Structure 1
Amino acid sequence: MVIMIFVLLLLFGVISSWATDYELMLEDPDIFSPCTEGPPGSIDARQAVNFDDLVVDQEADILRISGNVTVVWDVQPTDRITARLDFLHYNRGSWEPTVISMATQNFCSIMYDKNQYWYRYWTRYITNRHDVEKNCLRGPATVLVHEPFDLMLKLENFRGPLLRGRHKMVVLFNALDERNIPRPNPICLEIRGEPLKLN
């Protein structure tokens, strides 16, 4: 019996250590969808940010992004911004959490930290760093100037359970005042799609 348990544990360890690559097939060509179960009073990405001067072209598994966005989120310059990302799986009619999530209690302090996913996939391409570090996402009229960049819709070297079916990322930004009371208008957005195994 002990040998059987040892073999099962060893097999589980080997299987879970294999890395897998995925390509994300987006459900919505607009990329950002409003949250289906957002917090009360939440606004979506298009209510918080003006995307009129941003160009996004999709070519297979690549998003080619260029241009500027202007933050119009109605919060105060002294507010602290929190951020959370949760990865959910659609199973039998409802969205269930997975083990993949990340959060920060002070997004503005880490948005240019090279070790953060936020930086790797987004903020490293914002060229007016000095202005953005000072204003962060606290509008109104904070402009994020992007150099043209390609965003691969791939999850590489993923170590974990096999991803199958519909998934979504839920991103939530909250603004908290000096007394740590949340503002009534958090930003909530979803990116929905299906990961397709590549190897």
Structure 2
Amino acid sequence: MLIDVDPDGIHVSGNVTSRWSMSRTDRISARMSVLHYNRGSWEPTVFNSLTPDFCTAMFDPNQFWFKYWFKNFANREEMQEKCFSTAGTVLVYNPFTVVPRLNNVMGAPLKGRYKVVVLFEAFDERNQRRPSPVCFEVTGEIEKVKN
């Protein structure tokens, strides 16, 4: 996967091959949390999301996962069949640009260092958590842009 950042946004292209090997009957859960860096430590914010059945939600046009990320896959049929829990599944991106802007945010102004932490976990048929979660984070600066 290639990622390039410029004033127009985050440009994404290429592909990613999954190395996660879970049973296709496993349920994948996705959790996203936004944290703010304040005085030397990362503090939680009110911006959090839990998607208990991610493989179903990732191609639901009403979900933000689809709107901002998964609508850009070239191999949607394969992804819907295998999700990304099958080792060797290739996620093929159509090139796209993410414009990371928030509009109409109520509350205190957002400014400074933030990070988004995404955690994927697999659960078997008995709803027991599998031992190999996948986690990544993206860190950046937030500033108010005048229109």
TM-score interval for Structure 1 and Structure 2 normalised by the shorter chain: over 0.9
Q: 2:39 aligns with which of 80, 92, 117?
A: 92
| Rounded Cα–Cα distance in structure 1 between residues aligned with 2:40 and 2:13 | 37
Structure 2: which 5+ runs fail to align? none
| Rounded Cα–Cα distance in structure 2 between residues aligned with 1:172 and 1:153 | 20
In structure 1, what is the equivalent of residue 71 of structure 2? Answer: 124
Q: Once the 2 structures are TM-superposed, how far is the Cα of residue 117 of structure 1 from its aligned partner?
A: 1.1
* Partners of 1:61 and 1:154 within 8 A in 2: no
| Rounded Cα–Cα distance in structure 2 between residues aligned with 1:158 and 1:70 | 35
After TM superposition, the runs of 4+ consecutive aligned structure 1 residues lying more than 6 A away are none
* Partners of 1:86 and 1:97 within 8 A in 2: yes
- The residue identity in structure 2 corresponding to 1:178 is E
In structure 2, what is the equivalent of residue 5 of structure 1? Answer: none
Q: Deviations over 1:91-144 (max 9, x none)?
A: 222211111111111001110111111111100001211110111111201111
In structure 2, what is the equivalent of residue 71 of structure 1? Answer: 18
| Rounded Cα–Cα distance in structure 1 between residues aligned with 2:95 and 2:88 | 21
- The residue identity in structure 1 corresponding to 2:38 is N
- Per the normalisation by structure 2, the TM-score is 0.93
In structure 1, what is the equivalent of residue 95 of structure 2? Answer: 148
| Equivalence map 1:22-41=2 (5 Å) | none
Using the TM superposition, name which of 56-65 and 104-113 deviates more. 56-65
Whether 1:189 and 2:116 are equivalent positions in the alignment is: no
Q: Indicate the SS of the match to 2:65.
A: helix
- Per the normalisation by structure 1, the TM-score is 0.70
* Partners of 1:61 and 1:153 within 8 A in 2: no
Q: Once the 2 structures are TM-superposed, how far is the Cα of residue 61 of structure 1 from its aligned partner?
A: 4.4
Identity fraction in percent: 47
| Rounded Cα–Cα distance in structure 1 between residues aligned with 2:39 and 2:3 | 33
RMSD (Å), alpha carbons: 1.3
Q: Indicate the SS of the match to 1:161.
A: coil
Higher helix share: 1
- The residue identity in structure 2 corresponding to 1:77 is R
- The residue identity in structure 2 corresponding to 1:65 is V
Q: Once the 2 structures are TM-superposed, how far is the Cα of residue 156 of structure 1 from its aligned partner?
A: 2.9
| Rounded Cα–Cα distance in structure 1 between residues aligned with 2:98 and 2:39 | 31
Structure 1: which 5+ runs fail to align? 1-53
In structure 1, what is the equivalent of residue 111 of structure 2? Answer: 164
